[in-house]
Structure 1
Amino acid sequence: MRRVEAEHLWPDAVAAALSRFKWAFKEPGRYLTGPAESPGIEIEDGRDDLEVALLYLPTGARADLGRLVERIDVEFERRTLPNPGWVSEWTAGRWWWWRIRER
Structure 2
Amino acid sequence: MAIHRVELVSTDYYLFLGATAYALRRYQAFALAPGRRPLYPQNEECTCRGCSFDDVRHARDVLDDVLRQLPARARGELGRRVALLDAAYLRRTLPDPFADERQYAAELWWRRRLSGGRMTAC
**TM-score, L = length of structure 2:** 0.66
Q: 2:20 aligns with which of 7, 11, 14?
A: 14
Rounded to whole Å, the distance in 2 between the matches of 1:39 and 1:73 is: 19
Question: RMSD of the alignment, in Å?
Answer: 2.8
Q: Any residues of structure 2 matched to 1:83-102 within 5 Å, and which? A: 83-88=96-101, 90-101=104-115
C-alpha deviations, 1:54-97, integer Å up to 9, x for none? 11111110011111111111000000111122215831431111
What is the percentage of aligned positions where both structures have the same residue?
31
Rounded to whole Å, the distance in 2 between the matches of 1:49 and 1:96 is: 12
Structure 1 residue aligned with 2:65: 52
Structure 1 position 99, deviation (Å)? 0.3
Structure 1 residue aligned with 2:33: 26
- The 1:98/1:53 distance shift into structure 2, 3 A limit, reads same
Which blocks of at least 5 consecutive residues in structure 1 are unaligned? Answer: 1-5
Structure 1 position 31, deviation (Å)? 2.3
Name the aligned partner's letter for residue 31 of structure 1.
L
Aligned residues of 1:18 and 1:46 also touching (Cα < 8 A) = yes
Rounded to whole Å, the distance in 2 between the matches of 1:40 and 1:60 is: 26
Structure 1 position 40, deviation (Å)? 7.4
When Rg is computed on C-alpha atoms for both structures, the one with the higher figure is 2
- The 1:20/1:40 distance shift into structure 2, 3 A limit, reads closer
